């Protein structure tokens, strides 16, 4: 075998290996994105279903939510609000997800549409939010959330 042909095969094998690694990384990232969106959907549905167990599992013990009004809520406060029969969610759905994964940290940015009744007063709103997740023992858990009222760019 001549040296040029040998170099060609070595370079070709490097290229094939690199392509295989890029394909594997993309598949892993896509799977992580799908996992985070699924957890987000489960979390939002838990409010409608009043599924305290789901939120207890999804939220870390030190979970913090900063609402669009700027108020801070702990995990216990969010779950206590869910236990209150005077607060009901009819709609609590997310859309337009942007998901960023950095190792065992995932950030979900999306729009949340809510509709329901709070102590006899109907509410309906839409907020932009970001949730920060950490992967613990292979499970994505929400450690922090921040919501902002959407702004109209034309009014700025």
26 burial type by CB count under 10 A (0-12 exposed, 13-18 middle, 19+ buried): exposed
Q: What is the DSSP letter of 41?
A: H
Domain total in the chain: 1
pLDDT digits (tens, 9 = 90+) for 52-84: 999 999 999 999 999 999 999 999 999 999 999
Whole-prediction pTM: 0.77
* CA–CA dist 90, 123 (Å, integer): 10
- Where the chain has pLDDT below 50, the residues are 3-28, 153-156
3-state helix, strand and coil shares in percent for the chain, rounded to the nearest 5: 40, 45, 15
pLDDT of residue 152: 56
Residue 52 sits in which domain range? Answer: 3-155
Closest CA to 93 of 73, 60, 116, 64: 116
Q: Please state, in angstroms and as integers, the Cα–Cα distance from residue 91 to each residue in 48, 104, 130, 149, following that order.
A: 7, 30, 19, 17
Percentage, residues of the chain above pLDDT 70: 77
Q: Quick check: 129 and 146 in contact, CB under 8 A?
A: yes
Q: Residue 53 is part of a domain; what is its CATH number?
A: 3.10.450.50
């Amino acid at each position: 075998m001549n040296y040029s042909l040998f170099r060609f095969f070595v370079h070709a094998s490097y290229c094939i290996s690199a392509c295989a690694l890029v394909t594997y990384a993309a598949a892993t990232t896509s799977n992580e994105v799908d996992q985070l969106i699924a957890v987000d959907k489960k979390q939002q549905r838990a409010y409608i279903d009043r599924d305290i167990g789901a939120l207890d599992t999804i939220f870390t013990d030190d979970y913090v939510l900063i609402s669009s009004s700027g108020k801070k809520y702990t995990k216990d406060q969010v779950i206590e609000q869910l236990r209150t029969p005077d607060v009901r969610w009819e709609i609590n759905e997310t859309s337009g997800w942007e998901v960023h994964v950095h190792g065992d940290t995932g950030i979900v940015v999306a729009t949340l549409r809510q509709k329901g009744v709070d102590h006899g007063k109907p509410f309906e709103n839409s907020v932009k939010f970001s949730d920060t997740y950490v992967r613990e023992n292979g499970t994505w858990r929400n450690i922090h959330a921040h919501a902002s009222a959407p702004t109209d760019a034309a009014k700025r």
